[in-house]
Each structure stands twice: as structure tokens, then as C-alpha cells.
Amino acid sequence: MHTLMAWRNIWRNPRRTLVILTAVVIGVWSMIFLGALMRGLTNQYLEIGISTLTGHIQVHHQDFRSDPVIQNRIDRPGRVAEALEPLLPPGSHWTERIRVNAIANTARHAQGVTLVGIDPEREARVSFIGGAVKEGNYLEPDDPYGILVGKALAEDFETRLDRRVVLMSLGVDGKVASRAFRIRGIFRAETEATEKQYMFVTMAAARDMLGLERGVTEAAVLLPSHELTGKTAEALERRLPTPPLAVQTWRDLLPLVRVTIELYDTFIFLWFLVVFIAMAFGIVNTLLMAVFERVREFGLLKALGMRPRGIVQGVLTESFFLLLLGTAAGNALGVLSVNLLAESGIDLSALAGRLAEVGMRRVGYPQLQAGGFRLANVVVFVLGIVVSLYPAVKAARFTPVEALAHT
């Protein structure tokens, strides 16, 4: 009957109840929706970063990142394979690369690029390049002279399929090594910067050019989920001779992505705070109003022998119902709007200039996330009940005599 009473009480003033509900619904919805949008944006950003030759985990020679020359290489890649393969979770992929700085020349143009020697088959499962060739063909294994060039670079160089590009870099012997390649394919990437930076050749071609027998400069691992990164990297670190090798995760390799994600998390947190404070004021005010309208009633309940705790419980039950209805509707609305926009995305062109600079897409695809969901609901629910304690305790404090004298 106490529950029934609370339920009926919230409908005594339907307009007021609808006002609170609207506040809770908008609050919960905005938390879910904004959270999902932010998560979508940062996840896309992270995906792009990871697929642009980063992966979740990389193994290098410890000096390679500060001095990326062929001398700082992994001399015995077999050891990495031995250490890595047993601990990779199912669904993982990994590959090896030779990555060196080089100068690309055509008859009229020259530009610094990153030359990447890949195992075409394995690389396709780890990074974007497998599906990125839009003109011509992807590399055949062991193609000795084929090269993949980015669309933007091809345009800068005024070159096209089947034309020659000469690459120069420092070989293993410390002397300049050069080799002429033929453009087999032109690839597109999320950003022009990527298209202009990377050129892909087969591992065999890169080794041949640099005078290398068996080494690689990096091993890159793509895991089935971001969450596995830390654990896998730690396990790998224990199994590898570090130094001379070093294990890094995308957090180390993509500092800008990491900082951006942290920034967005902070933003979401602040948004939650703002929404919650606004909502809390709404809840407290309306409940106080409701409590003060019913002073006589609380006095009556106390006169009848109800303990203050019972009155607190009664008011909290009312608040519980309001929060329950509000969060339920807010969740429904959140899921609905996110699902509606998950396909088409939200055009963020107004911000796009800035987003594109750091390699983010112009269209945001909101992504629901169990964590964000839970957080929004727990925040609203738990804190909602906590702030309701104030009006509830107020209601329990009226003494029967003053309450009954109240008109």
C-alpha cells in the first residue's frame, strides 16, 4: 500500500510530474546520445589511427622510434613470431614490415615519403591498405618492382598507373640505395596526409633494395578488441627480450588520438555534471513544492503513528518512480535516436575543418556503449535518489502539531 500511495501521489499533480519527467528524460537522453556521438567520433578516430599502419601493438628495436633507420631493426623476426603467436587471442592478426624514410622521385618531382615493405597477404588483414587500392591492383606477393602510391601524391607528382617512381633510402651498408618501381595501384586513405606519406612495396622488394637478408623494422598486431591491448602487450613484453626489443601500444604510438579521447571523456564528464546539476535542481525544487503542499498530510501520518523513517521512504519511493519512468523513457529515446543516426551519421561539417586536420571524419556515427549507458543511468538514478533525501527529510521533520495547524 505504501508503494501504491507513492504511485498515486506522483499523479496528483500530473503537470508537475510531467515537468520532472521531461527534465529527467531530456537529461538521460542527452547523456546517452551525446556520449554515443562522442564515443562514435573517438572510436572512428581510433579505428582510422589503428588501421593506418599502427595496429594495437607494435614491436620495434628499442631505438627505432627515435631513430627510424634500417640499422635499428629486428634482426631475428622469428623470435617475435615465437613469442607472439601463442598469446594472441583468437581473431587477432599480425604482420611484419620494413618501414624506412625515403625520397620518391619522378622526372619532375621529388618528395620525402615513408617506404613500407609489406607482406601483402598478411598486411591486408591488419591495416587499411588491403582494401584501399582504388585504381590498378593490390601488390602480388614477391612483386619485385611494384609499388602502391596514394591518390594525393600521384596527383602532386602528376603521375599515374604504370609510371615509374624511383625511391632512394639508406641501405644496410649505410650507403644510398635506390630502386625504380612501377605504379601498380593507387590507394585512397581517410586523409590526404596518409595518401602523401606512405608508399607500399613488397617485403622482398624492400629487402632487395636495402640489402637486407631477413630483418624487419616492426611487427604490428591487430587485436579483435581495443580492450585486449594492455593485457596482451604486457604478456608479450614478458616473453620478448626487452631490450633490445620494445613493445608499444597504440596509446604510445598515437598520442594525439589518446589525448583526444581523454579530452572527449572529460567533455562527456562535464556534460554529465551540467545535466545532472540542472536535473537535480529540478527534482529537488519540484519535490520540495510537492512536500510543502502536503504538510498537513505528513502531520496526519505522524499523528497516526508513522515513524519519520516511513515518511522519508514514502517521498523517496515517489522520487524512485519519477526516476524510473524518466530513465526508462530517456533510455528508449536514446537508443532510438542513436539507432536512427547510426546508419546515416550526423554531418559535422561545421566542425569538419578542424576534425579533418587531425584525421577525423566529417560525419559522426553515434555508437551505443554499454559503459556509457550504465553510467548515465547510474548517475541519474543514484544521485537522483540522493538529492531527493533533502525534501524527504524535510517532510519527515514536520511535527504533527505544527503540520496540523498548517492551513
Partner 1 sequence: METQSIVSLSDVTKTYRQGRVQITALDGVSLEVPQGDFLALAGPSGSGKTTLLNLIGGLDRADSGSIRLNGNDLGAMSESELAGMRLEQVGFVFQSYNLIPVLSAEENVEYVMLLQGVAARERREKARAILDDVGLEGMYDRRPAELSGGQQQRVAVARAVVSGPSIVLADEPTANLDSATGRALMDMMRSMNEAKGVTFVFSTHDRMVMDYAGRLIRIRDGRVAGDERREGEAES
- Is residue 15 near partner 1 by the rule CB under 8 A? no
Question: Closer to partner 1 at the Cβ: 300 or 348?
Answer: 300
- Is residue 297 near partner 1 by the rule CB under 8 A? yes
SS (H, E, C) 79-128: HHHHHHHHHCCCCCEEEEEEEEEEEEECCCCEEEEEEEEECHHHHHHHCH
* Contact of 48 with 189, CB cutoff 8 Å: no
Among 86, 304, 344, 370, binds partner 1 (CB under 8 A): 304
Query: From CA 357, how far away is CA 205, in angstroms rounded?
Result: 33
Kindly tell me the number of DSSP H helices and DSSP E strands found in the chain. Answer: 15, 12
- Is residue 310 near partner 1 by the rule CB under 8 A? yes
Residues in contact with 273: Cβ distance below 8 Å, sequence separation at least 6, in sequence order:
none
- Is residue 404 near partner 1 by the rule CB under 8 A? yes
Query: From CA 87, how far away is CA 242, in angstroms rounded?
Result: 17
Pick from 100, 109, 105: nearest CA to 174: 100
**Stretch of 131-139, 172-180, 304-312, 367-375 lying at the interface with partner 1 (CB under 8 A):** 304-312
Q: How far is the CB of 339 from partner 1 (least distance, A)?
A: 39
Query: From CA 29, how far away is CA 142, in angstroms rounded?
Result: 54
* Contact of 289 with 276, CB cutoff 8 Å: no
Residue 193 identity (one-letter amino acid): A
- Is residue 307 near partner 1 by the rule CB under 8 A? yes
Among 176, 259, 303, 382, binds partner 1 (CB under 8 A): 303
**Stretch of 3-11, 273-281, 348-356, 380-388 lying at the interface with partner 1 (CB under 8 A):** 3-11
Among 305, 350, 353, 370, binds partner 1 (CB under 8 A): 305
For cell 611494384, name the residue.
Answer: 146
Among 88, 301, 341, 379, binds partner 1 (CB under 8 A): 301
- Is residue 18 near partner 1 by the rule CB under 8 A? no
Pick from 53, 24, 65: nearest CA to 245: 65
Q: What residues between 362 and 401 interact with partner 1 by CB under 8 A?
A: 399-401
Question: Closer to partner 1 at the Cβ: 141 or 310?
Answer: 310
Among 288, 306, 333, 389, binds partner 1 (CB under 8 A): 306
- Is residue 9 near partner 1 by the rule CB under 8 A? yes
Residues in touch with partner 1 (CB under 8 A): 1-2, 4-5, 8-9, 12, 296-297, 300-307, 310, 399-401, 404
